Structure 1
Amino acid sequence: MNQELQETQNDAEALQAAQSGVALYDRTPWGRLELTGGDRLRFIHNQSTNTFNQRQPGEVCETVFVNNTARTLDLATVYITDESVLILVSPNRRETLFQLLDRYIFPADKVELRDRTSETACFSLIGDNSQQLLQNLGLTEDIPPGQHRRVTLNTLPNAPEIRLAAGNGLKLPGYTLLCDADQAASLRAALYEKGATPLGERVWQRLRIQQGRPAPDAELTDDYNPLEAGLWDYISFDKGCYIGQETIARLNTYQGVKQQLWGLHLPEPVEPGTPIELNDKKVGTLTSIIPSEDGYIGLGYIRTKAGGAGLSVKLGATEATVIDPPFLSRGYLCPPNP
């Protein structure tokens, strides 16, 4: 069996596991930035779109980092602990966000920033059987959505402590596990032994496009803001000032979101960057595309006035149907499709 066929079969197995079993995605290449000090919650509250001042240890939430003009840098997951704030960021935004945060730490701030990526590891379980796998591993504690816990793996040598969180970055059942780097190999092996199927980057991209999770350098760029990117659920509109706040508040108040991110179902491939057309007029741009069982699925920005789910559009000579992926959220309704 040649390597390409083997990889294709492995991808199919991983996708099936994520949908009806349990798959393991190694997120160790993602960045992990840590804030410590007495002002850590106030600091991240002022640097991103979600609210943090009243967060308690054990909470986990998503937040968006934007620049001064509210252009989207990254969607990050934040874990509040007793001593720190741990921020899980996209691999290609690790340096950018470290520099951004470091720039806004002033001498009077009781905040210290540290890049802990090389010292730690991160894994996400995806699929309906994720909880059963953890129970088979000896982790029987029920962790509700929006929460994480420090737990001990007594079934592994030296009984390592890990951080276990509900959620995996997608609107799919699962968990995320964070551990020290020297425990990564044994934890990964134990998860595989208990039945997790390896899930690689190609299948992650398939799932995140299918789900509608926007990614840096594709949907999250200097061309788009987080309201256009469908990240309304991770934005507080009444928390006060933060970087980019004035622009985001104005867009919300005056319903100024002129384009929105949607899913697309296509019968054949086209290149990212291809214009999306309606009635021979450009109404948007394709940002991501990947094969599926019945054609291709993609993501793209479409002008709000053009419509949304159910709309038939063209990308070059290819006709496509607009769909509404589960990950995306919207603040106000699009006009009915023509």
Structure 2
Amino acid sequence: MTDLPPLYFSSLKPAACIRVSGEDAATYLQGQFSNQLERSERCAVTYGFWLSYKGKVEADSFVLACEDGTFLLLSYDCNASQLIEKLEHNIIADDVTLEDLTGQFVLWVLGGKKAPLFFEHVEVEVPQETVFTHAKEGYLFHGKHLREPHYDWLVPKDAFDLKVELEVWGKLKAVEIDLESARVLARVPAVPKDIGPGELPQEGGLADVGVSLSKGCYLGQEVMSRLNSMGSTQRQLYGVSFFGGIPQLPAKLFYEGRCVGELRSAAQSEQGSVGIALLKKRVGELTPILSLGENDTPCVVVNSCLTLLK
């Protein structure tokens, strides 16, 4: 993994930003979301999944509990219209309204050990890990792009330009990073790219961060409980490294002439290319050298299971 600068930033257009309101919003979301939303904290932020009845990951999101009783769903990469369709499908007699706000927001990402100095300069309160604070007409909370602490800053479009603010401040040089490459180099799984509708949270080592085993019934809950008590999955995400260019993704991976998984994400590093691959565990545990074609020379080195990188 490449060391990140003392102060870095990036920006992205979130794939989904949905406001959920109505008298039954809290109860409805609690019965659909994989993680515990009944929280005592004010301005709580919860990360989790929207599962199928088979426990497969159809989408992920943060859920921000706003003071007015509404909720804001934010997903980095899961399509807003598809998420709304899934949620609307399960609304029967509930008083719940879904409003797509995706095009109205931009997501800034700020991190590095010097980030608190900038927040102090702009007089913004740094949030605790499980809550958000209001900042510049938006919401500031801990992100999940990387393994080291960093912040997501969701603000209305054109309301705030973090890059300009950092330049005006000028006390420290802020480096704009390629967030996707940094994510892959840090071996952080992304939904739906690495773990999606065909996979379980456990296959990406994501159950600990997005699945509650103590809350009441929710869609996919029986499968989550069964996996926790009766055994493990047959597949797992692994970090891999290889030389050469990045193939078109996803790319099948072969061992001894048999397809054993897929390379899902990849990025270039100074030492070559690195990636995240979904592999059969019985093969991944051997830490073998895989090939990108059935008859190609083996070149993909399996490094470690992603669950060991927490």
User: In the alignment, is residue 189 of structure 1 matched against residue 164 of structure 2?
Assistant: yes
- Alignment match, 2:245: 269
Q: 1:132-143, aligned counterparts within 5 Å?
A: 132-139=117-124, 141-143=125-127
- Alignment match, 2:299: 319
**Structure 1 47/290 Cα, relative in aligned 2: closer, same or farther at 3 Å?**
same
- Alignment match, 1:242: 218
Structure 1 unaligned segments of length 5 or more: list them: 1-14, 152-159, 331-338
Secondary structure at the residue paired with 1:227? helix
- Alignment match, 1:224: 199
Task: Please state how far the C-alpha of 1:129 moved relative to its aligned partner.
Answer: 2.0
Which residue identity is paired with 2:137?
Answer: E
Worse-matched range after superposition: 273-282 or 114-123 = 273-282
Secondary structure at the residue paired with 1:224? coil
The normalised TM-score by structure 1 is 0.78
- Alignment match, 1:85: 71
In structure 2, distance between residues paired with 1:28 and 1:269: 27
In structure 2, distance between residues paired with 1:273 and 1:173: 29
Can you list the C-alpha shifts for 1:273-319, whole angstroms capped at 9, x where unaligned?
Answer: 444344554432211222111010111112222344x8132124233
Can you list the C-alpha shifts for 1:141-162, whole angstroms capped at 9, x where unaligned?
Answer: 34222221124xxxxxxxx433
Q: 1:149-160, aligned counterparts within 5 Å?
A: 149-151=133-135, 160=136
User: In the alignment, is residue 289 of structure 1 matched against residue 237 of structure 2?
Assistant: no
Which residue identity is paired with 2:134?
Answer: R
Equivalent pairs, count: 298
The normalised TM-score by structure 2 is 0.84
Q: Do the aligned partners of 1:268 and 1:296 also contact (CA within 8 Å) in 2?
A: yes
Q: Do the aligned partners of 1:74 and 1:220 also contact (CA within 8 Å) in 2?
A: no
Task: Please state how far the C-alpha of 1:208 moved relative to its aligned partner.
Answer: 1.7
Secondary structure at the residue paired with 1:19? coil
In structure 2, distance between residues paired with 1:66 and 1:135: 39
Can you list the C-alpha shifts for 1:245-269, whole angstroms capped at 9, x where unaligned?
Answer: 2233323322140000111111233
- Alignment match, 2:233: 257
Secondary structure at the residue paired with 1:209? helix
- Alignment match, 2:91: 105
Indicate the RMSD between aligned Cα atoms, in angstroms: 2.7
- Which residue among 206, 210, 227 is the counterpart of 2:185? 210
User: In the alignment, is residue 52 of structure 1 matched against residue 30 of structure 2?
Assistant: no
**Structure 1 320/91 Cα, relative in aligned 2: closer, same or farther at 3 Å?**
closer
Secondary structure at the residue paired with 1:249? helix
Secondary structure at the residue paired with 2:86? helix
**Structure 1 225/192 Cα, relative in aligned 2: closer, same or farther at 3 Å?**
farther
Q: Do the aligned partners of 1:265 and 1:298 also contact (CA within 8 Å) in 2?
A: yes
How many percent of aligned residue pairs carry the same amino acid?
Answer: 21
Q: 1:298-337, aligned counterparts within 5 Å?
A: 298-308=275-285, 311-315=287-291, 316-324=296-304, 328-329=306-307
Secondary structure at the residue paired with 2:79? helix
- Alignment match, 2:128: 144
Can you list the C-alpha shifts for 1:11-60, whole angstroms capped at 9, x where unaligned?
Answer: xxxx98x8022222213343211112343232222112111123532221
In structure 2, distance between residues paired with 1:243 and 1:34: 20
- Which residue among 87, 104, 109 is the counterpart of 1:119? 104
**Structure 1 42/213 Cα, relative in aligned 2: closer, same or farther at 3 Å?**
farther
In structure 1, distance between residues paired with 2:192 and 2:143: 24
Structure 2 unaligned segments of length 5 or more: list them: none
In structure 1, distance between residues paired with 2:174 and 2:15: 20
Secondary structure at the residue paired with 1:26? strand
